[in-house]
A and B are shown apart, each in its own frame.
Chain A
Amino acid sequence: MSDARLFDALFGAGNHEVVIDGHFVAGPARLGGTPVAVIGSWDAAAVDGDLALAIAGEILRVVEADTGTTARPIVFIADTQGQALSRREELLGLNGCFAHVARCVDLARRAGHTTLTLIHGEAVSGGFLAFGMLADRIIALPDAQVRVMDLRAMSRVTKIELERLQTLAKASPVFAPGADNYWRMGAVSTLWDRADGHWPAMLAAELAEARKVAGQDVRARTGAERGGRKLAAAVAAEVAGG
């Protein structure tokens, strides 16, 4: 479900000029007095090379436009069923297009743009890795689905019975789909509940939090604090030394 009223709820009607073009969304918006740039995928996009390049091109456009002035925060919208599956996309190196998007996000970060992702609809695997997961902070909107693969497919690949996976999924956030599991593991910073109030104020507060951690990757530490990923931070630190 992709509802264009999302942007009215986030910024207030009349405070944004976000354009939806098929599976690509982009446009300027204002949050109170602060201008922000919105860039992302829409309507459960299967992210192919064209969409990846549209997203990368828009990031570069925003970075260039803000050169020498205040770098606007970038709000990514992640709504993707994953990467496009086709022989042609593989041949042309879809993985390379995704790496290019990731470099553009990294450039934006180094150029001083605060980055924040809103998961709207679903966020799956490769389509989510390319840009949404690289932001400094990630918010799951109500009803957001986050996963690598559904349990049925996972059962086929791992040859572990579905019922066993369903039982284990209740106790472990490690492989079960769900925004709450990604929260426990530190990859989703905040879950927004539908009942919660004023989105523009909440978004402004999230951007302030994102600014505090800009350039650091705090997800493993957060995952350990929340009990969802107990080893990642410790093992990385052991190897990193120093």
Chain B
Amino acid sequence: MSRRISYFEASARARVATLADERSFTEFCPPAQRRTSPHLARLDAPVAFDDGVVVGSATVAGRPVLIAAQEGKFNGGAVGEVHGAKIRGLLERAAREKPAAVLLLVDSGGVRLHEANAGLIAISEIMRALMAAQAAGVPVFALIGGSCGAFGGMGIVTRLCDEVIMSEEGRLGLSGPEVIETVKGVGEFDSRDRSLVWRVTGGKLRRALGEATRLVDDDAAAFRAAAVAALANHRNAPGDLASLKAAQAALTERRAAHPDTRDGLEVWRAIGLPQPEAVPMLAADTFNQQLAQLATEA
């Protein structure tokens, strides 16, 4: 019997190791290449030999994939020039090699402020490369369950993906609670109210809104199982005029359906979950069953 590995606590390399088939991972631009950030070095800030992201190829349940895993413990998984270029290059490789999927193990606060301009441009390059890979027929999945979540530009990148696999502990948004609190005040968003933060950005709210496609418990094996399931049966990103018009209508409808909502609790109540207050404590399976039940009734 194997010990349960917390995805939240695991490093980027440990996540890759539990996700990929044994001994199938080959890293591109590995630490031995010493592709460190010259911009961090210039500020006398610590550098990492992989610049905080691991990229490579592997198989998952025997199917070829390309993987990028951000290391949240290095500068909050933030995207700089080298870090961003590695992810962009991986997506370009995908468009050419056409693997079964690209897996983005997102754990990032967004743009790395020490190299802000390079990071912002890199995110935009990742967005274009991701959509080009999708247009070439390669699905891209995001997996979110780390301590930095998926914020800033990486929050936008995540929502371009064909599948978004999350745990409740993972968080997905654009501006982090600390940023909103700093600019708009604690009355707008109290970043220290941890349960509120999870009700506004956490995996269960994202799953209830249909943004996360699969919700799993904080268990590396559960993330792998969800990735295997997604490889077998994934949702395709809308790409043509008709599907984008439908997405436009759905996003407009959502804003109308939740006119004054500022707390996930109100969303769970509005969609008819039996015990909205109890949602944060539910195991992923129970929550998924309740959502499935609502969908059947609708």
Contact = CB atoms under 8 A, between A and B. Distances in A.
Report whether chain A binds chain B. yes
Contacts of A237: 89
B219 interface: no
Contacts of A133: 120-121, 124
A219 interface: yes
A56 B248 contact: yes
A129 B156 contact: yes
A91 B248 contact: no
B200 A87 contact: yes
Given A98-B174, A134-B124, A240-B90, 11 more contacts: A60-B244, A93-B211, A102-B131, A103-B247, A104-B244, A168-B43, A232-B84, A235-B81, A236-B86, A237-B89, A239-B85
5 contacts: A56-B244, A158-B114, A235-B35, A235-B85, A240-B90
Contact of B262 (A87, A172, A175, A235): A87
Across the A-B interface, the 7 shortest Cβ-Cβ residue pairs: A239-B89, A99-B159, A236-B89, A95-B155, A148-B116, A235-B85, A240-B92
A72 interface: no
Majority DSSP secondary structure for residues of A touching B: helix
Contacts of B158: 95, 99
Contacts of A100: 159, 244, 247-248, 251
Contacts of A92: 209, 254-255, 258, 261
A238 interface: yes
B251 A97 contact: yes
Q: Taking each of B33, B117, B201, which has the highest tally of chain A beta carbons within 10 Å of its own beta carbon? A: B117
B188 A238 contact: no
Interface of B: 28-29, 33, 35, 38-39, 42-43, 55, 81-82, 84-86, 88-90, 92-93, 96-97, 111, 113-125, 127-129, 131, 135, 152-153, 155-160, 172-175, 177, 179-180, 183-184, 188-189, 200-201, 205-206, 209, 211, 237-241, 244-245, 247-248, 251-252, 254-255, 258, 260-264, 267
Nearest to A182: B117
Given A88-B262, A102-B131, A240 B211 contact: no
Interface residues of A, number: 76
B28 A90 contact: no
A86 B180 contact: yes
A236 B85 contact: yes
Contacts of B86: 235-236, 239
Interface in A62-121: 63-64, 67, 83, 85-100, 102-104, 106-107, 110-111
Contact of A241 (B28, B159, B200): B28
A197 interface: no
A102 B29 contact: no
Nearest to B158: A95
Contacts of A227: none
B99 to A, nearest CB: 13
Nearest to A184: B117
Nearest to B134: A106
Interface in A116-164: 125-126, 128-130, 133-134, 147-149, 154, 157-158, 160
B174 A232 contact: no
Contact of B160 (A90, A99, A158, A231): A99
B123 A129 contact: yes
Contacts of A86: 180, 184, 188-189
A187 interface: yes
A240 B92 CA distance: 6
A88 B196 CA distance: 12
A172 B43 CA distance: 11
B124 to A, nearest CB: 4
Q: Taking each of B125, B174, B200, which has the highest tally of chain A beta carbons within 10 Å of its own beta carbon? A: B174
Contacts of A157: 113
A175 B40 CA distance: 11
A220 B87 CA distance: 13
Contacts of B28: 238-239, 241
A32 interface: no
